[in-house]
Amino acid sequence: MTHSPSDAVTRDYAYYRHIFSGRRLPLAFIDLDLLDANAAQLSQQAQPLPMRLATKSLRCVTVLRYLLKEFPSFSGLMAYSAAEAAFLAEQGFDDLLLGYPTMESSEILPCLDWIRRGRWIAFMVDDVRQVELLEALATRGEPLTIPVCVDLDMSMDLPGLRFGVFRSPIQSIEQAEPLLVALAKAPHLQLQGLMGYEAQLAGIADATPKSGLYNRIIRLLKSWSQRQAFARRQAFASELRQRSYPLRLVNGGGTGSVGRTKRDSSVTELTVGSGLYAPALFDHYKEFHYQPAAGFALSVVRQAGPGIYACAGGGYVASGPTHADKQPEPYLPPGMTLIKTLGSGEVQTSLQSPVPLELGDPVFLRHAKAGELFERFNEVYLVRRGAIEQIVKTYRGEGACFF
């Protein structure tokens, strides 16, 4: 199969309006032609490294299966909770890396049952207390070996500035010594992985419109941070291997740093997710541009004045700092804007549109982030070549809610 967008097809308002004519709104959709194009672009950027799919950015079992089947570059999943990992194992998935630590025993135990059945599920650790909990739970049933992965913090600290996120407390092998000592005393745990997620490279836009000075500063900080972060991960991985730890993987990167992270010689795999749907927060990066493959449609239910329309629903605000960029982005018809004093509302979203609209017309918006959109919908419409190909369940539609 050739994975590229439908040639000569314009994704304009008429295109999507025709596809969803007569369908109940609001609805969420994924344009499979554009999803394929994004997956192909990511595969090319990542070569020769494989990519692990970040499930929190996708949140749809059908889409996960599709990507793993159609694109050999994708291998394995990064789950965002232990309960989700057990859910995915039940769906038949294997090679599951938990991207975050967990202290919830009721969610860890089902994962241990799946490990006993032969699935590879690795737990993220960066604290002795996490190790002690996993070891204690491992003694409750038949013997097993629990794979674990150390989370290495990749942020850069400058005077008065932390360029990155507050993630793991471990930045050096010296800081990891208590954790390694605890692992040595835990007969059921085996250190098999190292992850260093350079959020400051992967998650900060550096081509924001009308922000030339800001963009230059961000690019400079990224360059400095990249050298520091890669050296840190390389040194840590080298030390673990010298100590004879059987590392199955060294994971790094995210959608915004695929091209950079693959140049780190210690990395064996990358993680991607958001770039497949290409939400609004990923529009302004210098090194890449992905196609807007996911969005949602609202129904116009009121005209409040000339060019002012109200739509049913739409208050799908993204997580993170509560800035305007976390609101949904009006997409089609082009030129629409949110009313600044109102924003997107739970029951009603007001928009200003230069294109005349009628009551009942659809309008299309994009979420600021990727998978969070599907926490709002039980179903997602999969479209290809101008038609609905399939309607499938999201995590929410499967009855799976993890946080």
For 92-107, write each residue's pLDDT tens digit. 999 999 999 999 999 9
26-35, 46-55, 158-167: which has the minimum mean pLDDT? 158-167
Pairing of strands 379-384, 387-393: antiparallel
Our count of domains for the chain comes to 1
Residue 264 pLDDT: 94
Q: Is residue 146 part of a domain?
A: yes
| Amino acid identity for residue 69 in this structure | K
133 vs 165 pLDDT, higher one: 133
Q: Is residue 389 part of a domain?
A: no
CATH of the domain at 50: 3.20.20.10
Residue 1 pLDDT: 46
Summarize the confidence of residues 344-367 as an average pLDDT.
Answer: 96
Q: Is residue 166 part of a domain?
A: yes
Q: Is residue 403 part of a domain?
A: no
Q: Is residue 92 part of a domain?
A: yes
- H runs (alpha helix) in 71-211: 82-90, 105-116, 128-138, 173-184, 199-202
pLDDT over 90 percentage in the chain: 80
Place of tokens 């599951």: 96
Residue 9 pLDDT: 62
Q: Is residue 230 part of a domain?
A: yes
Q: Are 342 and 21 a contacting pair, CB within 8 Å? A: no
Question: What is the residue range of 128's domain?
Answer: 32-276
Question: Rounded distance, CA 312 to CA 298, Å?
Answer: 6
Please determine, for residue 18, whether its predicted confidence score (pLDDT) is greater than 60: yes
Q: Is residue 349 part of a domain?
A: no
The kind and range of the H/E element at 123 are strand 121-125
Summarize the confidence of residues 209-223 as an average pLDDT.
Answer: 88
DSSP assignment, residue 44?
A: H
Q: Is residue 187 part of a domain?
A: yes
For 153-189, write each residue's pLDDT tens digit. 988 888 888 888 898 999 999 999 999 999 999 999 9
